[in-house]
Amino acid sequence: MPRNSGVVGWGAYVPRYRIKMEEIARVWGWEPSVPKGLGVVEKAIAGPDEDSLTMGYEAALNAIRRAGVDPAEIKAVFFGSESKPYAVKPAATIIADALGISPETMASDLEFACRAGSEGLRAALALVEAGYMRYALAIGSDTAQANPGNVLEFTAASGAAAFVVGPASESVAVLEGVYTYVTDTPDFWRGAHSKYPLHGEGFTGEPAYFAHIIGAVKGLMENLGLRPEDFDYAIFHQPNGKFPLRVGARLGIPKEKILPGLVTPVIGNTYNGSALIGFARVLDQAKPGQRILVAPFGSGAGSDAYSFVVTDKVEERRDKAPKVDDYINRKKYVDYGLYAKMRGIIERILE
């Protein structure tokens, strides 16, 4: 069935600061083989004046620049994150105000672990397709946290991606179909008053990550009558550098189609930015007529699988904002002490 919505503009943001995996391993006494086994070399760290809200704003600003639309025409803002700066106060309203979108707009913060940004993207596409509005904005952003010394600290990183959704006739990538697969799988969680999340270690792979992404992608392909070879690119959720390649192999998708959107090895797992930054990176290079598979995942657990077809409009909008690789290549390394200070791992005790 023809779809009437798609991505009109895209944008991303990755902080400048980086820490190498070998530095984290040195501080906590991990063997070098541990981070190497995760397929991650270094990760991006939000600076002391950055949080998920400010990063989401930057990514959204880039997306609006590429879309070339009047912000006041955007009638919905969805902000997906599991590291909001406020427990009770929406980030979506702050971003909408800062971008000149409010006051005549929907604004909602969404939660579904790393899938919240994708949840916003799916809602935005549905609202546009249903004719409720011409443009909507979906953002996925996180300053991902991890318990110091835990294996999760090697990958938990910071970054954001955003997409202006609009009519298919104006889109750089038209939605061809979407399929969602969710179950109650307790693979990763954080209590209401816990500072850091807990995870089920090996349980986070099977039956969480692999089962849900495979279920979503197979459902999508069956609904659309597509095969793995019909896709030119495949972007999966990236908790590390190995899982996306493994799930691709199980789906019959070669690594050559996965590597262009695989950003975790050089910036870490940006949680809600993970697959979405990968999607932005692919749009930075995709050609008209190519088909893109995007399959984010969120613990809890669920996955969305999208099929987008690139249009010729992508080439005229590509250079209107910084590309993902511009942010990847703009970096400054810090040691563990400065990293701990910036991320609030070291807390000052006042007597």
Burial of 16 (0-12, 13-18, 19+ CB in 10 A): middle
Choosing from 23, 119, 170, 237, the catalytic residue is 237
In the residue annotation, 114 being an active-site residue is answered as yes
Catalytic residue, candidates 82, 119, 153, 176: 82
C-alpha torsion 123→12→187→181, nearest 10: 30
From 23, 42, 114, 176, the catalytic residue: 114
Identify how many contiguous H helices and E strands the chain contains and give both numbers: 13, 15
Compute, in degrees rounded to 10, the torsion defined by CA atoms 310, 311, 316, 318: -10
Q: How many whole angstroms separate alpha carbon 212 and alpha carbon 186? A: 13
Tokens for 232, please give them. Answer: 């030119």
| Residue entry with tokens 């959107």 | 261
Please provide the DSSP assignment of 26-39 as one string: HHHT--THHHHHHT
**Location of structure tokens 């005229």:** 316
For CA atoms 12, 168, 319, 164, give the dihedral sign: negative
Residues serving a catalytic function are 82, 114, 237
